[in-house]
Amino acid sequence: MGTLCEKYGGWALVTGGSQGIGKGFARRLAAEGFDVVLTARRQEILDATALELREEFGVQTRTLALDMTQGGAIEQIFEAVKDLEIGFLVNNVAFSKPAPFLDLSSGNISKQVYVNVEIVAQLSSHFGRQMRERDRGAIINVSSRTGEIAMPYFAMYCATKSFISILTESLWFELKNTQVDVLVVKPDQTATEGYLAKNPTIWGDAGIQTVEECIEESISALGTYAGWLTWPKSRDDVAELRAMPLEEAITRNGEGMLSVFTEQLGAG
């Protein structure tokens, strides 16, 4: 069937693309022949990732360093790629803070809505319209397993991730009779730099999924499913939670959050 680049065309745009799951997608898409636009906050890490892609895969790259919690980020992205055909969009950037909801500042709440809701919606709309007009392209929005069942002490984040899931799954149906493939992926514990820095040893009995495993699960699901939990254990866990009375499922999630994030929550 050829490469993903041959199928979808154009450049790939990956937000939060310098590390972790975003970098995993960037590497996978570069291996498929896509030239890649990367956005993230720190220019030096963006430059290192872009150099790695060019040297290893022989593709073109562009980088855009910006703090996506600040207003105007959406417009800066549109301006930076206005001369490119974006054939593959990965909305990976996210902003979060584990804390009791009532302890979050109003500024933190606003930033989570802007990064996790508005940016994802606006980029999906803007580039999705272009893909629909060309009748080819792909959108992968990165949600989270935490968006499946209410998650105490992560309420704002999991609510925004639930938004991403519902939005993307709805868009999947609206475009399913076109050549534009849409998928929301829902990772669980994944061995990214950020996750390992916050939780170096406390993963629970189940272990942790590698970034590469997460990406391969995602690419395999694209074009078939509307939404996909990327870790097989997550699929079992979520099915079990959904079979419970809602209050029992929420209680289990809340107790799990306390055990995993005790140090962070205690630090405020």
Predicted local distance difference test score (pLDDT) of residue 265 = 63
**What gap in Å lies between CA 265 and CA 98, rounded to an integer?**
6
Amino acid identity, position 229: L
Confidence of residue 203 (pLDDT cuts 50, 70, 90): very low
CA–CA separation, 189 and 210 (whole Å): 9
| pLDDT at position 198 | 55
- The string of pLDDT tens digits covering residues 95-113 is 999 999 999 999 999 999 9
Question: From CA 35, how far away is CA 128, in angstroms rounded?
Answer: 19
How many domains would you assign to the chain?
Answer: 1
Please report how the helices 246-260 and 232-242 are oriented relative to each other, as an axis angle in degrees rounded to 10: 140
Greatest CA separation found in the chain? 53
What value does the mean pLDDT take over residues 80-96? 97
Q: Which residues contact 147 (CB under 8 A, 6 or more apart)?
A: 158, 159, 160, 161, 162, 163, 164, 165, 186
Report the half-sphere exposure of 129 (CA within 13 A, side-chain side). Answer: 5
Find the mean pLDDT for residues 136-156: 96
Catalytic residue (choose from 114, 153, 157, 225) = 157
Q: How many Å apart are CA 171 and CA 177, to the nearest integer? A: 11
Half-sphere exposure of 240 (CA within 13 A, CB side): 8
Distance CA 208, CA 204 (A): 9
Residue 47 is part of a domain; what is its CATH number? Answer: 3.40.50.720
Q: Is 8 a catalytic residue?
A: no
CA dist 226 and 248 (Å) reads 27
**Domain around 60:** 4-266
More confident position, 201 or 107: 107
